[in-house]
Amino acid sequence: MKNPLVLLLGAIVLLPFVVRPVIAAEIWLFAIFGLGLNLLLGYTGLLSFGQATFFGSAAYVAGWLLKHYAINVFLALGIGTGVGALSALLVGYLCVQRSGLYFIMLTFALNQLFFFIAYQWTSVTGGEDGMPGVPRPAFLGIDFKDPMNYYVFVALLFLASLWVMRRVVESPFGKILQAIRENEVRATAVGYNAPRFKLAAFVIGGAFSGLAGVLYAMLFGIVPLEAIGFVASGNVVFATLIGGSGSLYGPVIGSFVFIWLSESMSVVWERWPLLLGVAFVIVVLFFRGGVVEAWSRFWRWQSSRQRA
């Protein structure tokens, strides 16, 4: 636990040999999604329950362009990131003006707006059947149809995202976000325009969600309606909370646990969301603080035992 980066690199190298490369890739792209949410939840103190809006919008737009116009992979990622940021700008503009419970409800309600548009606009999105046939075009001779190649690609993008997010949260801008989280009134009194900073956090978080959404569409070759649904929004909140929203690596650990948990549960029973709901309830009632805190509690207990 001394150097999380070494641990992380080890995990990236070993993971595709432990689980199928598809699942391994899903873990890292979901971690990118979680990093975006955690800028809001962990660093700005904004509980957004509508992150799937940005994830799904980006997946649909970039997936459609990939499918019909055979655009370049990096162009697709760029457009998806842009769509994520833009949709977050629209949603964020309406949400940051309210706070507390209103804020949470608004992010959910606007998520529903995007969901029902995707649900009804069947000629583009395929509605309930999803939008199949999203390709994974080769780039510079590298064939991304090979699961291992694509895994490496997703893992590298994850590392890049982690690096960018670290720069963001450690920058003066990141410190202001944390000041707003700690005490919004004081941050405002010092002269920072809190709603504008919250909106900026929204846009950055949306860009990360968008990137993850495009990677998801290319990974599975389809944009299912669930990609823009509220359950996806809830899942990323859950993953971030079980990892621990207080740290940069929290959502990474959370994504690990969550994807592993849901993949193994979905094999057991078709109605696995029920088990997921039970897991939510149990974690909340008994394991608040998440894996990171449980881990550090364990170490504190260990060291106090050694001293005794």
Partner 1 sequence: MNLLLGQILNGIATGMLYALMGLGLSLITGILNIPNFAHGALFAIGAYLLVTTVGLIGNFWLALLIAPLGVAALGLLIEYAGIRRLYAAGHDYQLLFTFGLALILSEGIIVVWGPVGFSHLPPPILRGGVDLGFTFYPKYRLFVMVVAGLLVLATWLFLEKTRYGAIMRAGIENKEMVSLLGIDIHRLFTAAFALGAYLAGIAGALTAPIRGINPNMGVDMLGIAFVVVALGGLGNLLGAIAAGLLIGVAQAVVAAYWTEASTAVIFAVMALVLLVRPQGMFGIR
Using CB under 8 A as the criterion, which residues of the chain lie in contact with partner 1 when the complex forms? Answer: 41, 47, 49, 94, 97-98, 100-102, 104-106, 108-110, 112-113, 116-117, 119-121, 230-231, 234, 237-238, 241, 245, 271, 273-274, 276-281, 283-285, 288
Q: Is the CB of 45 or the CB of 63 nearer to partner 1?
A: 45
Residues 6+ apart with CB under 8 A from 132: 126, 221, 222
Q: Is the CB of 81 or the CB of 209 nearer to partner 1?
A: 209
Q: Is the CB of 74 or the CB of 286 nearer to partner 1?
A: 286
Q: Closest approach of Cβ 66 to partner 1, in Å?
A: 26
Instruction: At 195, list the tokens.
Output: 């709603």
Q: Closest approach of Cβ 232 to partner 1, in Å?
A: 12
Q: Is the CB of 149 or the CB of 266 nearer to partner 1?
A: 266
Q: Is the CB of 75 or the CB of 231 nearer to partner 1?
A: 231
Q: What angle do CA 201, 206, 209 make, to 5 degrees?
A: 130
Q: Closest approach of Cβ 268 to partner 1, in Å?
A: 14
Strand partners of residue 131 = 223
Cα distance between residue 80 and residue 218, in whole Å: 12
Q: Closest approach of Cβ 184 to partner 1, in Å?
A: 15
Alpha helices in the chain (DSSP H): 4-18, 21-38, 52-69, 73-95, 100-120, 122-125, 147-170, 172-182, 184-189, 194-220, 230-243, 250-268, 272-286, 290-307
Q: Is the CB of 98 or the CB of 300 nearer to partner 1?
A: 98
Contact (CB, 8 A) for 161 and 211 = yes
Q: Is the CB of 60 or the CB of 150 nearer to partner 1?
A: 60
Cα distance between residue 296 and residue 76, in whole Å: 40
Instruction: At 279, list the tokens.
Output: 């897991």
Q: Closest approach of Cβ 278 to partner 1, in Å?
A: 6
The DSSP code sequence of 27-64 is HHHHHHHHHHHHIIIIII----S-THHHHHHHHHHHHH
Q: Closest approach of Cβ 62 to partner 1, in Å?
A: 22
Q: What angle do CA 297, 301, 307 make, to 5 degrees?
A: 145
Q: Closest approach of Cβ 77 to partner 1, in Å?
A: 28
